[in-house]
Structure 1
Amino acid sequence: MSKLFTPIEFNHVQLKNRIVMSPMCMYSCMKQDGKMTPFHETHYISRAVGQAGLVMTEAAAVLPEGRISHEDLGIWSDEHIEGLNKLNEQIHSYGSKTGIQLAHAGRKAQLDSAIYAPSALAFNESSKTPTEMTITDIKRTIDAFKEAARRAKKANFDIIEIHGAHGYLINQFLSPLTNKRTDEYGGSKENRYHFLSQVIDAIQTAWDGPLFVRVSTDEYDEHGNTMGDVIYFAEQMKQQGIDLIDCSSGGVVPASIKPYPGYQVKRCETIKQNVAIATGAVGLITSGLQAEEILQNDRADLVFIGRALLRNPYWPKVAADELGDQLDAPKQYERGWR
């Protein structure tokens, strides 16, 4: 059997294969309450039917002002638990594990209300200027991540991913491009890591399952974090007990990016080899052969599939056929998958 369809375990949670549905915002909470809708149920459950090993939800905001848009999924209230729990029950029934990405948009929130960031710097000329966070704001946000983790546990998620990439709040603290603070949360890379460090510690008081972090491994700006900085952050995360680093890139400042198949995999491999931590590869991974190459060459431990799974919920079946593997079908679909 190919490595893509070999089980893997993180902190006592076993995934049946290495295929992850990458977190992708759907902007579909039309009542603007952050709650699950019938669309979300169809969207996520169908990928479990398609046999992805891990189905991860889109970014779920830990505070209302942490949404990217008013239509984002939320986990800032106990009222969100019931819908998320029902979703997990269905996904689990098809043998897939579930993950939730906990997030705060920071200065990239496109909301009518006030928005917050490490420093009062707008993303671009058309964006709102955020309010610089006070120490009280920071502590409130850290506590919100902890409470979100508590709700994720009650909702029966298997894995939590902290969103520290794409220029959202945690990434804004990590990056010298967006963090101009002069207190304990700004300046040196050690200080810039302080916020994420405290978020991780807080989450771990409410959550004892696998914990992933998504990072932007390249900020596409000569004044942004270097690979050395990212490796330092990864080393700190490993010491704090993070199970896997999900290696994406960009989004911190406006930049011209020319993506190509696997364009983020080399940096993912560099982190894996230098830090000796599990990594997830993401970014224009479209075929089973490509995914298998990444895993067999020890460049990553999981492959996060995004747009290819939007095009085809049954991408795992296509990949299995391509690799000559037998993928077990849901019993309702067996006659079509033989």
Structure 2
Amino acid sequence: MLSNLFSPIQIGNMTSKNRLLMSAMSINFGVDENCCVTDQLVEFFIERARGGVGMMLVGGGSVHPGGQELPDLPQMYNDNCIPALKDMVQRVKQYETLFGVQLLHGGRQSYLPEKVAPSPIPAPAVVKGPVRALEIGEIKELTSCFGDSARRCRESGFDFIELHGAHGYLINQFMAPNSNIRTDKYGGSFENRTRFLFEIIEDIQAKTGKDFPIGIRINGNDYIENGWDLKSTVRLAPLLEKAGVVYIHVSGGVYGSSELTIPSMYTPHGCFVHLAQEVKKHVNIPVITVGRIKYPDHAEEIIKEGKADMVALGRSFLADPYYPEKARKGEFSRIRPCVGCCLGCIHAVLAKEPGSCVVNPDVGREYKLKNETRPEQALKILIAGAGPAGMAAARQFAFQGHKTIVCEKGEDTGGLLSLASKAPGRGELNDILDFFRNEMARLDVEIRYNTELTLDLINEINPDRVILATGSMPDMPVIKGLFQTKMDLVTNVDVISGKEQVKDKVIVLGGGMTGLITADFLADQGKQVVVLNRKKSFAEEMSSNDRYYLRERLKKGNVALYKNVSVKQFADDGVVFKSNGENITLSGFESVVISEKHSSIREAKKLERKTRVPFHLIGDAKSPRHLMYCISEADEIARSA
């Protein structure tokens, strides 16, 4: 079915068993106090290798202490870490996966307070702090550090290394005119700006031998003014091939560019494929593409049509380590999907926390779960509510061998997440619901629709546990004039579900994630929308990637955003409030949509006093929170039964 995607390919002196590469990810866990790898990281990679990927990369391999992107990433500049690396390689390679390391120096994007770069120009976004220009001697030292790190990789048994020359890290900083204004031999002309890269390649070959494969990740386009562009990439690619590079991995974007390096759910699938396709015309070595290629049939199409030789996936391997094996078997519905929310992975890592995944709570816990066994005694579980928390719990309970019954008071599964998926650009949220629906069917979970949890139902089923996943509902705030206004007063849930309609001029009260998504939903219908946010920042519970694209949509929809809002009172057709100390009066509006706090729905908890069955609250029924916490909590309670 996917004959092209699962065909072998020659890459230098290596052969990959398929066309899938797990791209390097800085997941910020699994190293000890010396930044040597631990069993946590080893088991993370073993699980992905076991899942059938052809090639795989360790991310964030730091070549110098002053160039670490994040604090908890593997050090490749320390010989003391070689024994732990050797052990990891030996344990991973039993699964016939080519295993490599991506080498990088963060330059001005290092997390450290003292940052170096080709020129004293700060990073355009995310990373703050002064930047010092590298001296010639320091450039030579860093060149040697790349070579020494590659030597350690070979000594540890890795099959190859990949140079990170994309996304605004040090190599890219030298290459891009906007970050390199040097006037010596490392700046100015194309040849000078790429000199650092080619000297690194030469140093690696001198220290590892020319038979040790070197790949490179470069941007096809920085998508920023005076940055590295596709024309430059096309010029560089044949020179890289001539220098002995065995593959070119084409990505795009830097910190601060309109096309962010890690696209969100708003970004079109295959957003960088056209860049790889153009590069491929100019070289004979394999070209790898990346960027929101989450569906196996899309990856197959790219290979079949000759747009690229391989496809790199990152977050999809966080969501499901067994993506390749399930795809190879044609079990597409069993692939746990990445939804591009960037919260568990990118948002956490940027906050210098361990990476995780919204839809897969096992990420980073593989070493704890490797010896997990199913319980000896099967229980009967009754779950009230078939939203994401209820479905996640049902799947895990059934997987553990328990008889699982779900009662849902409505006519369908999905809860509030199903509504969120109706907003513009957020349809992929429904993918995780479809995954749970398919899994529940596969695992013989019984679902009773239009059924509320009652004492009679509990007595009928006689469960060992009752799980309340009954969700939450919007609160109506107490604000002067709100219930006396002549404007229509509705909740965001009623609006997005289609239960209520609003008129053309709308005030949305609430600037969190649900408030902004609701505003976008209305602006997409041509409504004039104003958002009043009582907090200092908008949608702070979203990842920066996801929020960026949503904010851009709101700009295009001419949505007016006010923060630090203190509402004094609502009038017949408007509102009086203070924002950032300024008194503002808005009039001429017709509808108010409440999209602030939610309250848990847990009336059914009272039934516990009338039965001996233990009740457990999960998801929004326990406390209204983001999807990630609902799913991880559901998974945990099922595993601990």
TM-score by length of 1: 0.91
Residue in 2 aligned with 1:186?
Answer: 187
2:111 aligns to what SS in structure 1? coil
**Residue type of the partner of 2:310?**
L
Residue in 2 aligned with 1:284?
Answer: 292
Residue in 2 aligned with 1:37?
Answer: 38
Number of equivalent positions: 324
**Residue type of the partner of 2:325?**
K
Residue in 1 aligned with 2:231?
Answer: 228
Pairing of 1:1-338 with structure 2 (within 5 A): 2-28=3-29, 31-112=32-113, 114-124=114-124, 127-207=128-208, 208-251=211-254, 253-255=256-258, 257=260, 259-322=267-330
Task: State the identity as a percent.
Answer: 33
1:121, 1:5 → 2: CA distance?
44
Kept after mapping to 1: 8 A contact 2:253/2:259:
no
Sort the Cα spacing of 1:154 and 1:256 in 2 relative to 1 into closer, same or farther, 3 A: closer
1:95, 1:2 → 2: CA distance?
19
Kept after mapping to 2: 8 A contact 1:288/1:318:
no
Runs of 4+ more than 3 Å apart: 29-32, 252-258
1:250, 1:239 → 2: CA distance?
26
RMSD: 1.8
Kept after mapping to 1: 8 A contact 2:104/2:164:
yes
1:259, 1:171 → 2: CA distance?
23
1:103, 1:313 → 2: CA distance?
25
Sort the Cα spacing of 1:90 and 1:154 in 2 relative to 1 into closer, same or farther, 3 A: same
More relative contact order, 1 or 2 (CA 8 Å, 6+ apart): 1
1:90, 1:262 → 2: CA distance?
33
1:121, 1:29 → 2: CA distance?
32
Q: CA deviation at 1:229?
A: 0.9
Kept after mapping to 2: 8 A contact 1:100/1:160:
yes
1:158, 1:166 → 2: CA distance?
24
Q: CA deviation at 1:128?
A: 1.2
1:17 aligns to what SS in structure 2? coil
**Cα deviations across residues 275-332 of structure 1 (Å, max 9, x unaligned)?**
33321111111121111111111111111111111100000022113389xxxxxxxx
**Residue type of the partner of 2:131?**
P
2:259, 2:143 → 1: CA distance?
32
Kept after mapping to 2: 8 A contact 1:59/1:102:
yes
**Cα deviations across residues 243-290 of structure 1 (Å, max 9, x unaligned)?**
111011111544354621100001001000133332111111112111
1:100 aligns to what SS in structure 2? strand
2:329 aligns to what SS in structure 1? helix
**Residue type of the partner of 1:279?**
V
**Cα deviations across residues 195-242 of structure 1 (Å, max 9, x unaligned)?**
001001111112222210000111112322221111111121111011
1:150 aligns to what SS in structure 2? helix
Sort the Cα spacing of 1:254 and 1:269 in 2 relative to 1 into closer, same or farther, 3 A: closer
1:255, 1:108 → 2: CA distance?
18
1:219, 1:26 → 2: CA distance?
23
**Cα deviations across residues 48-99 of structure 1 (Å, max 9, x unaligned)?**
1101111211120001111012212110010111111111111111111101
Sort the Cα spacing of 1:6 and 1:116 in 2 relative to 1 into closer, same or farther, 3 A: same
Sort the Cα spacing of 1:134 and 1:164 in 2 relative to 1 into closer, same or farther, 3 A: same
Kept after mapping to 2: 8 A contact 1:288/1:323:
no
Q: CA deviation at 1:30?
A: 5.8
1:215, 1:11 → 2: CA distance?
18
Kept after mapping to 2: 8 A contact 1:56/1:99:
yes
Q: CA deviation at 1:146?
A: 0.6
Kept after mapping to 1: 8 A contact 2:219/2:228:
no
1:108, 1:33 → 2: CA distance?
21
Sort the Cα spacing of 1:323 and 1:232 in 2 relative to 1 into closer, same or farther, 3 A: farther
Q: CA deviation at 1:115?
A: 1.9
1:96, 1:276 → 2: CA distance?
23
2:149 aligns to what SS in structure 1? helix
Kept after mapping to 1: 8 A contact 2:234/2:282:
yes
- 98-107 or 125-134, which deviates more: 125-134
Kept after mapping to 2: 8 A contact 1:171/1:252:
no
2:32, 2:156 → 1: CA distance?
21
2:34, 2:182 → 1: CA distance?
33
1:254, 1:7 → 2: CA distance?
35
**Residue type of the partner of 1:52?**
V
1:73 aligns to what SS in structure 2? coil
TM-score by length of 2: 0.49
Sort the Cα spacing of 1:305 and 1:256 in 2 relative to 1 into closer, same or farther, 3 A: closer
Which segments of 5 or more consecutive residues in structure 2 lack a partner in the other structure? 261-265, 333-641
Residue in 2 aligned with 1:327?
Answer: none
1:30, 1:75 → 2: CA distance?
12
Q: CA deviation at 1:177?
A: 1.1
**Residue type of the partner of 2:46?**
I
**Residue type of the partner of 2:21?**
V
